[in-house]
Amino acid sequence: MSKPYLTFVLKSFKYYIFLFFVFDLDASVEKDITKLLTEIEVVSKFEDRRKGLMFKSSIPKNYGMFFIWEYKRQQCMWMKDTSIPLSVAYISNKGEILEIYDMVPFSKKSVCSKDYVKYALEVNKDWFEKNNIDIGDLINIKEMIPNDN
């Protein structure tokens, strides 16, 4: 190879390596949780949200409860009378996972979102990790909120 060509290749390689580390290639890929969860229960009424998964002794491995509030604000959840270890994700209007918390069974301590949100997804503890879903990921929430603005 000629020296100018080799110099060009090396500079190009450095440039592509730089871009690879600067841009997260998976950041804009929306994950379809309806294919990962076999059952999603949508709760939008106050009493249903308040009850959540209280008094249930177990839920299926790929079950999720999707919470919809009337408006965006700091939302809080607790585990009163809930024996199942759960994880909760607070979700933006665009479907971005903003925060994920592991919940403690029977805890009366509120776990609140840091951001203003309208949506949350509650699943078995470690479900997000097992399905490679993390903070910053986009999930498809349109099917769960078809008439929501």
Report pLDDT digits (tens) over 13-51.
555 555 555 555 545 688 999 899 999 999 999 999 999
- 143 vs 71, which has greater pLDDT? 71
Residues 6+ apart with CB under 8 A from 128: 87, 89, 97, 100, 134
| Model pLDDT, residue 143 | 84
* Alpha-carbon separation of residue 55 from 3, 38, 64, 123, 145 (angstroms): 73, 21, 16, 15, 26
pTM for this predicted structure: 0.79
| CATH architecture of structural domain 26-144 | Sandwich (2.60)
Domain ranges of the chain: 26-144
